[in-house]
C-alpha cells in the first residue's frame, strides 16, 4: 500500500524547534519530488517546501525561508522538516505530500504538473507559551 | 503569484451545475491544479494542467482556462461532492493555493 506517515509534531514554545519526519512506503520514494503542506486551524492550505528527488534542490514559502529546512534520506525512504525559531503562526497540521508530477501538453510543449496525489494523515504542530 | 478564488462559499442542491473560479495575478500557462478536501481528511487532486482529469476522478468534474482565469465545473453535483475546493498554481515558486471554496448543501 502506498503510504506516507508523519511524526514529530507536538507543542513547542515560541522560538523553539521541532523536527518532523515522514516515512514513505509502497512506492519508489527516490523517484518523486516531495513536499510539506500545512493547514492552520480552520484555514486554507499553504504550501511550505519541496525537495527534488536527489535532494539537490529545495524551495520554500517566504514565511519559512531561513527558519525551516527540508531534507530527505532516500535510503531510509524518509522526508524531514527541521523547524527552528517557531512562531505562533506556524501552528498547523503539517502534511507530507508526494508530487506525482504528471505530464500535460500546452501550446505544443510538454510540462510537468504539481499534482499532489499521496498525502499523509498529518501531524499537528502547536506553537504556544 | 496571488490566486484569487471565488466564491468563498456557495450553497447548491444535488444535481446542480457548480462553477468555481481562480484568477491568477499573472500568466501561469496552464499550471493550475484543483483539489477537493472533505472535513478531517487530506486533500485529493481532481484536475491538473488546468483541464486534465486525474485518474479515478468522476467525469462530472472538469477544468478550463481562459488567460489568467481558471474554472472548475461540477456538471451535476452529487452528495459526496460537498466539500471545500482549492486551486494551486505551480508555475512559479512559491507555489500558492487559492483561498478555497466551500460547497454546502442548500
pLDDT in tens, A17-30: 999 999 999 999 99
State chain A's mean pLDDT as an integer.
97
- Which candidate, B44, B71, B89, B14, places its Cα nearest to that of A47? B89
Tens of pLDDT, residue by residue over B55-106, are: 999 999 999 999 999 999 999 999 999 999 999 999 999 999 999 999 998 8
Confidence of residue B35 (pLDDT cuts 50, 70, 90): very high
Q: Which residues of A touch B (CB under 8 A)?
A: 44-47, 50, 59-62, 95, 100, 102, 104-107, 111, 113-117, 119-122
A107 contacts in B (CB within 8 Å)? 29
pLDDT exceeds cutoff 90 at A72: yes
In this structure, what C-alpha cell is assigned to residue A48? 511550505
- Measured in residues, chain B has a length of 106
CB contact under 8 A, B42 and A62: no
User: Does the pLDDT at position A5 exceed 90?
Assistant: yes
Tens of pLDDT along A88-116?
Answer: 999 999 999 999 999 999 889 999 998 99
pLDDT of residue A60: 98
Cα A68 → chain centroid:
11
Å from B29 to nearest chain A CA?
8
CB B97 to CB A107 under 8 A? Answer: no
Burial (Cβ within 10 Å: 0-12, 13-18, ≥19) of residue A123? buried
Instruction: Note whether B81 and B74 are within 8 A (CB).
Output: yes
User: Taking the CB of residue B101, how many other CB atoms lie within 10 A of it?
Assistant: 22
Question: According to the model, what pLDDT value does residue A53 have?
Answer: 97
pLDDT of res. A97: 98
Contacts of A116 in chain B (CB under 8 A): 33, 35, 43, 45, 88
Q: How many CA atoms lie within 13 A of A30 on its CB side?
A: 5
What is the grid cell recorded at B62?
472538469
Is B82 in contact with B103 (CB distance < 8 Å)?
yes
Q: Which pairing describes strands A123-127 and A10-12: parallel, antiparallel, or unpaired?
A: parallel
Residue B106 is predicted with a pLDDT of 87
Contact A111, A8 (CB under 8 A): no
Please give the sequence-ordered ranges of beta strands (E in DSSP) within B1-106, or none if there are none: 3-6, 9-12, 18-24, 32-37, 44-48, 52-53, 61-66, 69-74, 84-89, 96-97, 101-105
Q: Does B61 touch chain A (CB under 8 A)?
A: no
Give residue B17's pLDDT band: very low, low, confident or very high (50, 70, 90). very high
Amino acid at each position: 500500500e502506498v503510504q506516507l506517515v508523519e511524526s514529530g509534531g507536538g507543542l513547542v514554545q515560541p522560538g523553539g524547534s521541532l523536527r518532523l519526519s515522514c516515512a514513505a512506503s509502497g512506492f519508489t520514494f527516490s523517484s518523486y519530488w516531495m513536499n510539506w503542506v500545512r493547514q492552520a486551524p480552520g484555514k486554507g492550505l499553504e504550501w511550505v517546501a519541496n525537495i527534488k528527488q536527489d535532494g539537490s534542490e529545495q524551495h520554500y514559502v517566504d514565511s519559512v525561508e531561513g527558519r525551516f529546512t527540508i531534507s530527505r534520506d532516500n535510503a531510509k525512504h524518509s522526508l524531514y522538516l527541521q523547524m527552528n525559531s517557531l512562531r505562533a503562526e506556524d501552528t498547523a497540521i503539517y502534511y507530507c505530500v508526494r508530487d506525482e508530477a504528471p505530464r500535460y501538453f500546452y501550446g505544443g510543449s510538454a510540462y510537468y504538473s504539481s499534482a499532489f496525489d499521496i498525502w499523509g494523515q498529518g501531524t499537528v504542530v502547536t506553537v504556544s507559551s | 503569484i496571488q490566486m484569487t478564488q471565488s466564491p468563498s462559499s456557495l450553497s447548491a442542491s444535488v444535481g446542480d451545475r457548480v462553477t468555481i473560479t481562480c484568477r491568477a495575478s499573472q500568466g501561469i500557462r496552464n499550471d493550475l491544479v484543483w483539489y477537493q478536501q472533505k472535513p478531517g481528511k487530506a486533500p485529493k487532486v481532481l484536475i491538473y494542467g488546468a483541464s486534465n482529469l486525474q485518474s479515478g476522478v468522476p467525469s462530472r468534474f472538469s477544468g478550463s482556462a481562459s488567460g489568467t482565469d481558471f474554472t472548475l465545473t461540477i456538471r451535476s453535483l452529487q452528495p459526496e461532492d460537498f466539500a471545500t475546493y482549492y486551486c494551486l498554481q505551480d508555475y512559479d515558486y512559491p507555489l500558492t493555493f487559492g483561498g478555497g471554496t466551500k460547497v454546502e448543501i442548500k
